């Protein structure tokens, strides 16, 4: 009973410290000026869970450590609560990347439609803030704010490319930078051609991710089955007796580290590395 009370006290103290730390981070972040954007309910829920996941993980780890007396068990529970959603959410990460590239393609087409009406490049970029896709809203809003603050067009476009941080955006920004230098006709046609190229890239990425869905599902099933077996085995005292010694704890830590390493490796194999950017701080040369 004493060990349980000690574990609960430790978990409560740690939870309080983590809450203070999270509140301080939130206050610092809220002091930074950001473009006005109404977040979706799903995004708010995800951000809230990401903020509290560390608190829950720390409290759960301390509680398991205090009840079982195994420091490795507490570390495993903490690692599971923090890392399992990340390891099993590889498909969601890839889907967000593809959705972002698709948003770049959609924004480029809308910008081309605005330019067809005969408005200037800067005015078209500022107007596109109202019709940009949600996945690209904050970056386009920042671009419009820079242009409204009288930034040079090329400098504002380069800052926009750095905000998006994607090779597809570099392709679009390069066309816009050259258009801002030459101020000639045909910008809308060039942007339409660039959007077609980005759309082909999106189609290829979707095919690749469809092929990777099966091994991801297999890895997810193996992980969940393994965790279920460990949970059932934890209820059997005789099964866990070899791990009660210090050497057993070391062996358990090594087995867990190997399993986690395999999961991390599998996640890295199922995630495509980001395409290297070609629009850097150097000037875009004329063809």
Q: Which residue has the tokens 């067809």?
A: 116
CB under 8 Å to 141, separation ≥6 — which residues?
35, 36, 37, 129, 132
Mean per-residue pLDDT for 177-187? 82
Structure-token pair, residue 67? 């009840």
Check whether residue 102 and residue 57 sit in a common domain: no
Q: Please answer whether residues 58 and 14 qualify as being in contact, where contact means their C-beta atoms are separated by less than 8 angstroms.
A: yes
Check whether residue 261 and residue 223 sit in a common domain: yes
* pLDDT tens by residue, 215-270: 777 777 877 887 787 777 777 667 777 777 888 888 888 988 888 888 788 777 77
- How long, in residues, is the chain? 287
Q: Please answer whether residues 190 and 175 qualify as being in contact, where contact means their C-beta atoms are separated by less than 8 angstroms.
A: yes
The range of the structural domain enclosing residue 233 comes to 89-287
* pLDDT tens by residue, 25-61: 444 333 333 333 444 444 444 555 566 777 777 787 7
Q: State the pLDDT at residue 69.
A: 76
Residue 76 to residues 143, 223, 275, 285: CA-CA distances in angstroms?
44, 14, 34, 53
Check whether residue 150 and residue 287 sit in a common domain: yes
- Of the residues 82, 104, 125, which one is the last residue of a structural domain? 82
DSSP annotation of 235: T
Measured between alpha carbons, how far is 106 from 17 in angstroms, rounded to an integer? 45
Is 90 exceeded by the pLDDT of residue 146? yes
Q: Please answer whether residues 249 and 73 qualify as being in contact, where contact means their C-beta atoms are separated by less than 8 angstroms.
A: no
- Of the residues 28, 52, 82, which one is the last residue of a structural domain? 82
């Amino acid at each position: 009973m004493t060990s349980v009370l000690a574990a609960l006290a430790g978990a409560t103290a740690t939870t309080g410290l983590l809450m203070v730390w999270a509140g301080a981070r939130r206050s610092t972040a809220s002091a930074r000026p950001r473009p006005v954007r109404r977040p979706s309910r799903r995004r708010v829920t995800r951000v809230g869970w990401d903020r509290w996941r560390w608190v829950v993980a720390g409290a759960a780890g301390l509680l398991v450590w205090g009840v079982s007396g195994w420091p490795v068990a507490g570390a495993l529970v903490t690692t599971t609560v923090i890392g399992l959603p990340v390891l099993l959410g590889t498909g969601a990460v890839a889907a967000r990347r593809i959705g972002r590239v698709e948003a770049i393609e959609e924004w480029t087409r809308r910008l081309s439609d605005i330019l067809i009406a005969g408005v200037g490049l800067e005015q078209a970029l500022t107007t596109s803030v109202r019709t940009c896709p949600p996945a690209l809203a904050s970056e386009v809003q920042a671009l419009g704010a820079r242009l409204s603050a009288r930034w040079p067009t090329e400098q504002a476009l380069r800052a926009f490319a750095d905000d998006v941080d994607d090779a597809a955006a570099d392709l679009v920004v390069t066309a816009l930078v050259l258009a801002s230098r030459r101020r000639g006709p045909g910008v809308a046609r060039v942007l339409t051609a660039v959007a077609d190229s980005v759309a082909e890239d999106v189609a290829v990425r979707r095919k690749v991710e469809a092929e990777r869905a099966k091994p991801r599902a297999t890895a997810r099933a193996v992980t969940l089955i393994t965790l279920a077996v460990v949970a059932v085995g934890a209820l059997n005292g005789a099964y866990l007796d070899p791990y009660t010694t210090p050497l057993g704890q070391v062996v358990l830590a090594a087995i867990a580290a190997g399993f986690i390493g395999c999961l991390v490796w599998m996640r890295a194999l199922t995630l495509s590395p980001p395409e290297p950017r070609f629009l850097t701080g150097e000037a875009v040369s004329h063809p």
